Chain A
């Protein structure tokens, strides 16, 4: 949230942005292909899938929770949508059902965590496994293909030269930014993460806030899943595996605290872009994908360590 608390607050918040600019600067010097309009859009399109999941994850992490099931929610909800489309259902209806199912999976997480009082890590670890299993059951372990051509528009189309996934990402970003910054629900999310007991004693239904937050995470995971399915022109039973980790990394890189109550969604967008640009830049430099993992992990660790030393 763009809530600036004092001068040091501004500086602290600018950290991720400075990091992003630095990486862009270095890569543009090393490789002249990097800073071209075509490549930038290419990067943003790759970023959009992770960014959408990470936006939802930001809400969850702000309440001091975690959602490990997002990758599985992506796979199961998009499998539902693809299955319906493949058997001739109207695409819009199928997408609606897919997104709704993903939201409900998030609601299940929220209910287990808020009402069942299960630790978020454990609860979503379990549902991650369950939803992945259900995806394999539903798809019989095979990709779902034969999707209508028009559906491809969502993930592969362009609007005024801008790739559609980027449009979806920006729309979601705008909406979530407003919710987090300007609504009382957004305020409740921060308060809950900062001090759950004080929030509850202030007469706020903390269970409801938690359930909503996980539902939002499920909603965004399923939207991301639909876009991925459209881009690949098929629903893969193993789609989204380990995507939760990239999403968590984006949130943390953006400066949101894993202990809740502190952070902002702008940072998450920057964090997702840092991860995406790093992937793209290392590809352009022909770095082997094995080394890419090492570099990516190293950058995440470095960023968090820098953030730590600043906070003290």
Chain B
């Protein structure tokens, strides 16, 4: 069988820094080939070269045996390469058929007038091929994330895609949607479409892929047939060393109640939320995307109006702004590091100092000495890898950026620390350091509320787990009772208590 895609000896540098070195990859017809690696391993750079967003320095890319250079996403399309991105690229206010044929609408001759009848029937046709019973005139914004993704796949097929790149396709899907997606992948395999599957979820990769290739630090490490390799082998390939303990949970003394929430509600987002956290305790909050977990974190931090009562250290507090929440002793590390956690154009030093300027200033003037001492101390304590503290924060890796976000909050000495997806986009080594930090904090008597979509992380680090579904708490489990299955049942709406 000839290979659909053969990539060999790819090199790519940015500003003299090698990000890909002699990388190879191949894809057969009707195959699902998983691409794995830590963040920064070079997966997305390789995919961007394949899809014409970046150009390669040297190396060869052959599609169906002929050397092919995609110089732009447009030419990649004509070569039969399509990427389904993590963030979907659809226009919510347009209908399915309008999105599917955006930029290549069927017209009546060349009049510029759209031939709706033809577009509708073509769209319907592609949707049915994938076993989807959707009305082509529905607005994309009204579809679920899973449905939108399938429409995007249908769109790729309508462009004759032979090579489909699926980038973290299941991150936002419910269990049932994932099953549907996997059925669809099976259908596509029979049609001879080759798929490159990027995911961090080991279980899925073992379920869906035929082969697995691992990259590390821009190097090709190896390719394995899925049915002969093991998770341990893959982790070792990705990390380059054995990780002894993924979740170094320590036992702490659980003290007095730090935070209590009674009847918290937010119009259309949160309903009747009740819970409490104690000093030294890590409370995990699990749930699917859109379950209201981040909304809860934000409501606690004074963003948006809420009904109900919040108590910190047993005293009722009215929280109507982040400034207020900080004063009450709370800190929030948001899930959206780039959008909400950091100011990319400011230095590491300025970002670390931002919520602490009051204590670093005299009469409104920032004390350079106090600031520098504080920053040097934080960088050392958190092991942030920087050349110097004046470096732009946007030049750091994901893990180090996250440490800066955590560092800026630790200095406010919070009593309650809310972590929203603290290890998203962070590699395994930095993850371990963040877990260690959480341990140090609870040992000092901080109460931690941690939100995570990674179930193993929730189970591994929490003393207690709450599960949310559609803005409500649908389950509460002690550390001993919590299992992935019980959490998934509660997260998909089945009510259960452990």
Contacts and interface: CB of A to CB of B under 8 A. Distances in A.
A87 interface: no
Contact of A191 (B326, B354, B391): B354
A190 interface: yes
Interface stretch (B16-24, B83-91, B336-344): B336-344
Interface in A183-203: 183-185, 187-188, 190-191, 194-195, 197-203
B344 A185 contact: no
Contacts of A197: 339-340
Contact of B323 (A184, A191, A203, A262): A203
Nearest to A263: B345
Interface string A124-146: 00000000000000000000000
Contact of A5 (B332, B340, B347, B365): B347
Nearest to B387: A6
Given A194-B345, A262-B345, A187 B339 contact: no
Contacts of A187: 350, 353-354, 357, 366
Nearest to A182: B365
Contact of A194 (B343, B366, B390): B343
**Which residue, B323, B325, B327, B343, has most C-beta atoms of chain A within 10 A?**
B343
A199 B390 CA distance: 19
Contacts of B341: 198, 201
Interface residues of B, number: 35
B322 A201 contact: yes
A195 B336 CA distance: 12
A199 B354 contact: yes
Contact of A202 (B322, B360, B390): B322
B112 interface: no
A82 B127 CA distance: 74
Nearest to B336: A197
A187 B368 CA distance: 13
B345 A183 contact: no
Contacts of B353: 187
Contacts of A262: 345
Contacts of B358: 184
Given A184-B358, A261-B343, A261-B345, A200 B350 contact: no
A190 B366 contact: no
A310 to B, nearest CB: 15
A31 interface: no
A194 B344 contact: yes
A188 B346 CA distance: 11
B374 to A, nearest CB: 13
A304 B346 CA distance: 22
A12 interface: no
A204 interface: yes
B334 A191 contact: no
B366 A184 contact: yes
B474 to A, nearest CB: 28
A205 interface: yes
B268 interface: no
Given A182-B366, A183-B365, A202 B345 contact: no
A267 to B, nearest CB: 15
B124 to A, nearest CB: 41
Contacts of B303: 201
B326 A203 contact: yes
A6 B15 CA distance: 15
Contacts of B392: 5-6
B342 to A, nearest CB: 6
Given A183-B366, A203-B323, A195 B343 contact: yes
A206 B323 CA distance: 10
Nearest to A179: B364
Contact of B354 (A4, A182, A185, A204): A204
A8 to B, nearest CB: 11
B361 interface: yes
A202 B343 CA distance: 10
A187 B391 CA distance: 16
Contact of A205 (B323, B344, B345, B408): B323
A202 B366 contact: no
Interface in B243-262: none
A300 to B, nearest CB: 23
Question: What are the 6 tightest A-B residue pairs by CB atom distance, in nearest-first order?
Answer: A194-B343, A184-B357, A203-B326, A202-B355, A195-B343, A194-B345
11 contacts: A6-B392, A184-B357, A188-B357, A190-B345, A190-B350, A194-B343, A195-B342, A198-B339, A201-B341, A205-B323, A261-B345
Given A183-B361, A187-B354, 19 more contacts: A5-B391, A184-B361, A184-B365, A187-B366, A188-B357, A190-B345, A191-B346, A194-B344, A195-B339, A195-B340, A195-B342, A195-B344, A197-B339, A198-B342, A201-B303, A201-B322, A201-B334, A201-B341, A261-B343
